């Protein structure tokens, strides 16, 4: 607990000093709902939350957290409501943005009940191959939203670095993990937790079995018209965490993985959340990828103040390194 108070003091002290040196800062929280713009490449709305006292006229980072409703619904208003809460009320992403005074982008991607196997909020294989305008290539839609958000922020005299911070928990962690494999040059640093212990692997095969998306990179070229950029991916600072009591196991359900994907994971990576998490750590290290891995002893499928502060500290340190 003492370390948390010390971290809080350091963060507030350094950011207060920076803000006093600036002539302009936002006086109130701002939350903008940016409407879809197919001409710009995004077919869904997104939320841009800018916390009060965000410095202007100096470069900062844009934080991105994918939305995660936690259930299916054919009403976009349901997903919009949950995305607004994520952006502005209570989430790890909102805590990061509010504490570090950085803008936060949350997409309002649908997760239709009429297509229950289409796990949009986890960016599963069904989403990547979907061809409908609203749901097609949500990863590219998010890139277009990021580009547009930078323009929106520029109008407020807020300039952000080219690369983004990215955060996620549960399904949004899985989305973030997969997005980082597809677009590693976009990300400055990322933090994820509560992801069923199953990470995408920087491998084309395991035990002689081909690993296609979203398990591995064997079919990258056919899906994304490019090879997996392992050298760039290895350089992304990552904070990856799980609660030791977390038994929320999406792997065993059809909306998250196909029958074949489930068999590959259970038979080669692990049948339980904890076993998979440990195996994924080993496989990352074997492939010279070294995130910060952390397990919280008395935590399940949730975060605590300690978890939130460590994630905030991780991103704070990244900001200090990239001043």
The domain that contains 184 carries what CATH number? Answer: 3.40.50.1820
What pLDDT score was predicted for residue 1?
Answer: 42
- Name 59's bridge partners: 159
Over residues 213-269, the pLDDT tens digits come to 999 999 999 999 999 999 999 999 999 999 999 999 999 999 999 999 999 999 999
Query: Does 16 have pLDDT greater than 70?
Result: no
Cα 303 from chain centroid? Answer: 15
In the chain, how many domains are there?
1
Which range of residues forms the domain containing residue 33? 2-321
Residue 114: CB atoms within 10 Å: 8
Question: What digits encode the pLDDT tens for the residues 79-125?
Answer: 999 999 999 987 899 999 999 999 999 999 999 999 999 999 999 99
Q: Which residues of 142-155 are buried (b: 16+ CB within 10 A; e: fewer)?
A: bbbbbebbbebbee
CB–CB of 270/295 below 8 Å?
no
pLDDT band at 6 (very low <50, low <70, confident <90, very high): very low
Residue 112: burial class (beta carbons within 10 Å; 0-12, 13-18, 19+): middle
Residues 3, 287: Cα–Cα separation, whole Å: 33
CA-based nearest residue to 69, from 58, 55, 80: 80
d(CA 278, CA 118): 28
Q: CA separation (Å) from 213 to 118, 128, 131, 228, 240? A: 15, 9, 17, 11, 20
| pLDDT computed for residue 99 by the predictor | 96
């Amino acid at each position: 607990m003492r370390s948390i108070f010390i971290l809080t003091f350091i963060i507030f002290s350094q950011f207060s000093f920076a803000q006093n040196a600036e002539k302009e800062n936002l006086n109130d929280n701002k939350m903008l709902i940016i409407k879809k713009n197919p001409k710009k490449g995004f077919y869904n709305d997104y939320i841009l939350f800018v916390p009060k006292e965000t410095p202007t006229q100096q470069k900062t980072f844009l934080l991105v957290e994918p939305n995660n409703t936690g259930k299916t619904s054919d009403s976009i208003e349901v997903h919009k409501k949950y995305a607004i809460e994520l952006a502005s009320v209570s989430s790890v992403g909102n805590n990061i943005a509010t504490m570090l005074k950085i803008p936060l982008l949350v997409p309002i991607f649908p997760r239709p009940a009429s297509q229950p196997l289409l796990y949009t909020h986890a960016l599963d294989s069904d989403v990547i191959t979907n061809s409908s305008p609203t749901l097609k290539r949500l990863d590219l839609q998010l890139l277009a939203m990021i580009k547009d958000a930078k323009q929106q922020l520029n109008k407020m005299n807020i300039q952000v670095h080219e690369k983004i911070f990215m955060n996620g928990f549960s399904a949004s962690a899985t989305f973030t993990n997969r997005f980082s494999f597809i677009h590693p040059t976009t990300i400055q640093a990322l933090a994820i937790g509560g992801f069923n212990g199953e990470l995408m692997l920087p491998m084309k095969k395991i035990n002689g079995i081909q690993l296609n998306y979203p398990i591995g990179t064997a079919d990258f070229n056919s899906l994304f018209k490019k090879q997996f950029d392992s050298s760039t991916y290895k350089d992304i600072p990552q904070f990856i965490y799980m609660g030791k009591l977390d038994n929320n196991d999406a792997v065993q359900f059809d909306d998250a993985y196909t029958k074949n994907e489930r068999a590959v994971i259970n038979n080669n990576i692990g049948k339980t959340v904890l076993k998979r998490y440990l195996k994924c750590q080993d496989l990352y290290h074997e492939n010279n990828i070294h995130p910060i891995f952390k397990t919280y002893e008395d935590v399940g499928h949730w975060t605590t103040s300690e978890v939130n502060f460590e994630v905030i500290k991780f991103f704070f340190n990244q900001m200090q390194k990239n001043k």
